[in-house]
């Protein structure tokens, strides 16, 4: 047994670890490259930081490459990201030219690495043209979509689809995100690492100290949302819910976020959030460095209730992060949040600020019930959303690709 995996003994069933080792043996010596668009910020980077070392430890030679681009490129890819999640705004000819030119430059730079690899995972739309732009490629290429593609802007999707077609398979987080493709499609929801700084156990003293550093009173009720400052995460809706709840319930609110290097809209949304929060000393808007994992861990643990009031969400790692810490979560009734929150069992799914306020008040005023939901929450994540499950899924897909299995393989449906 290897060191990183060994640490999961006692956290997951032994059979999970032996299955991973078995799959790892079938793939030992193979080379894998993951390509995405940022090393810092957001759920994809969060997962790759954990998955890549685990794959290497299993003897699979795994690299992580990041595409580079100017601001104009990331403005285009943000428009594209929003369009895949349903926004009306499309892409102009100039925008697709910027997109393709930047990808051509990246393809030239990365070709020596990705063309020789046995498997290449390309994450999300930003680097999707790489497959077509690397005609010398030898291995199997998989497109990994982390976002909610259930109702994409049709024109933007038609454009992207042409770039996805040459892949050997695509991977979606939920069945409803999958779009018809001529190649195998796999379902793999993301996951959290219970042993990382973001999720490991903390001493109560560290939690209290962290709250104190930000001027948060540990003895008063606290609701927390951790998210990039992105409109789809609905931070303004969270402030509205907080205000409604405050009419009859003492409460402090933390909105903690940071900026992802591939998200140019963050500063605009942050300004709106600061405006909406101004003048209220009980709303704490925290802009944290990208590596503030223990701080986020402490904030989530210090919360009485965690919110993730997204209006669109690929998965929402922050939900599992909070559930793992035995917090009931109030989440937007959308995308991957539906997979994680079972209404009334480990949290509540809501559609409006009023709904969120109602549930917030309920959880703050029914502490025993909230505690039971917190216990359910941790057990549900242990079963479904730990990284060992995702690692097992990814390895199973690679084995299926290696064996030329053309069948649709649904590796995980909770």
Binding site for ligand UDP (CB under 6 A): 42-43, 46, 198, 226-228, 256-258, 288, 296, 315-318, 321
Closest approach, Cβ 137 to ligand UDP, in A, equals 27
Closest approach, Cβ 273 to ligand UDP, in A, equals 13
CA distance 296 to 318: 10
Closest approach, Cβ 217 to ligand UDP, in A, equals 22
Is-contact 5 17, C-beta < 8 A?
yes
CA distance 286 to 216: 11
Q: Which is nearer to ligand UDP, 38 or 401 (CB)?
A: 38
Q: Which is nearer to ligand UDP, 228 or 359 (CB)?
A: 228
As given in the structure block, the two tokens for residue 47 are 């997962």
CA distance 341 to 316: 11
Closest approach, Cβ 282 to ligand UDP, in A, equals 20
Is-contact 199 173, C-beta < 8 A?
no
Closest approach, Cβ 296 to ligand UDP, in A, equals 5
CA distances from 408 to 200, 401, 411 (A): 36, 11, 9
Q: Which is nearer to ligand UDP, 16 or 288 (CB)?
A: 288
Q: Which is nearer to ligand UDP, 85 or 376 (CB)?
A: 85
Is-contact 316 335, C-beta < 8 A?
yes
Q: Which is nearer to ligand UDP, 316 or 374 (CB)?
A: 316
Closest approach, Cβ 256 to ligand UDP, in A, equals 6
Is-contact 299 197, C-beta < 8 A?
no
Q: Which is nearer to ligand UDP, 24 or 332 (CB)?
A: 332
Q: Which is nearer to ligand UDP, 300 or 401 (CB)?
A: 300
- Overall residue count recorded for the chain in this entry: 414
Q: Which is nearer to ligand UDP, 69 or 190 (CB)?
A: 190
* Residue written as token pair 């994409």: 152
Is-contact 263 228, C-beta < 8 A?
yes
In DSSP terms, which residues pair with 187 in a beta bridge? 172
Closest approach, Cβ 41 to ligand UDP, in A, equals 6
Which residue's Cβ has the minimum distance to ligand UDP? 43
Closest approach, Cβ 248 to ligand UDP, in A, equals 30
CA distances from 208 to 51, 93, 329 (A): 31, 53, 21
Mind giving me the DSSP string for 157-197? HHHHHHHHTTSSEEEESSGGG----SS-EEE----B-TTST
**Residue 290, CB half-sphere, CA atoms under 13 Å: how many?**
14
Q: Helix 43-57 to helix 317-324 angle, to the nearest 10 degrees?
A: 70
């Amino acid at each position: 047994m290897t060191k990183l995996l060994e640490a999961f003994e006692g956290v997951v069933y032994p059979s999970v670890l032996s299955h991973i080792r078995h799959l790892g043996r079938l793939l030992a010596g193979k080379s894998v490259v993951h390509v995405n668009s940022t090393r810092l910020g957001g759920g994809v980077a969060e997962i790759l930081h954990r998955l890549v070392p685990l794959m290497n430890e299993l003897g699979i030679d795994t690299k992580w490459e990041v595409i580079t681009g100017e601001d104009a490129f990331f403005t285009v890819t943000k428009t594209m990201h929003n369009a895949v999640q349903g926004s009306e705004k499309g892409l102009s000819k100039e925008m697709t030219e910027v997109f393709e030119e930047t990808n051509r430059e990246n393809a030239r730079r990365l070709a020596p690495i990705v063309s020789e690899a046995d498997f290449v995972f390309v994450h999300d739309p930003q680097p999707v043209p790489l497959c077509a732009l690397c005609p010398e490629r030898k291995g199997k290429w998989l497109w990994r979509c982390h976002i909610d593609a259930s109702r994409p802007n049709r024109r933007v999707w038609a454009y992207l689809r042409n770039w996805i077609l040459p892949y050997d398979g695509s991977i979606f987080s939920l069945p409803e995100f999958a779009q018809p493709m001529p190649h195998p499609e796999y379902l793999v929801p993301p996951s959290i690492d219970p042993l990382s700084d973001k999720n490991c156990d903390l001493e109560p003293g560290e939690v209290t100290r962290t709250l104190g550093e930000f001027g948060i009173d540990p003895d008063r009720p606290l609701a927390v949302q951790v998210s990039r400052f992105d409109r789809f995460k609905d931070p303004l809706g969270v402030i509205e819910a907080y205000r409604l709840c405050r009419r009859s319930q003492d409460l402090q609110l933390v909105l903690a976020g940071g900026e992802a290097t591939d998200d140019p809209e963050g500063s605009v949304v942050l300004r709106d959030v600061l405006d909406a929060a101004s003048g209220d000393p009980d709303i704490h808007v925290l802009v944290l460095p990208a590596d503030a994992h223990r701080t986020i861990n402490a904030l989530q643990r210090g919360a009485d209730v965690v919110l993730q009031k997204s209006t669109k969400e690929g998965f929402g790692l922050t939900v599992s992060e909070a559930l793992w810490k035995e917090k009931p979560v109030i989440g937007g009734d959308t995308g991957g949040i539906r997979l994680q929150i079972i209404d009334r069992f480990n949290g509540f799914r809501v559609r409006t600020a009023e709904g969120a306020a109602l549930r917030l008040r309920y959880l703050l005023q029914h502490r025993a019930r909230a505690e039971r939901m917190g216990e359910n929450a941790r057990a549900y994540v242990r079963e479904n959303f730990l990284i060992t499950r995702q690692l097992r899924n990814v390895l199973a897909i690679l084995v299926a690709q290696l064996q030329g299995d053309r069948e649709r393989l649904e590796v995980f449906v909770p």
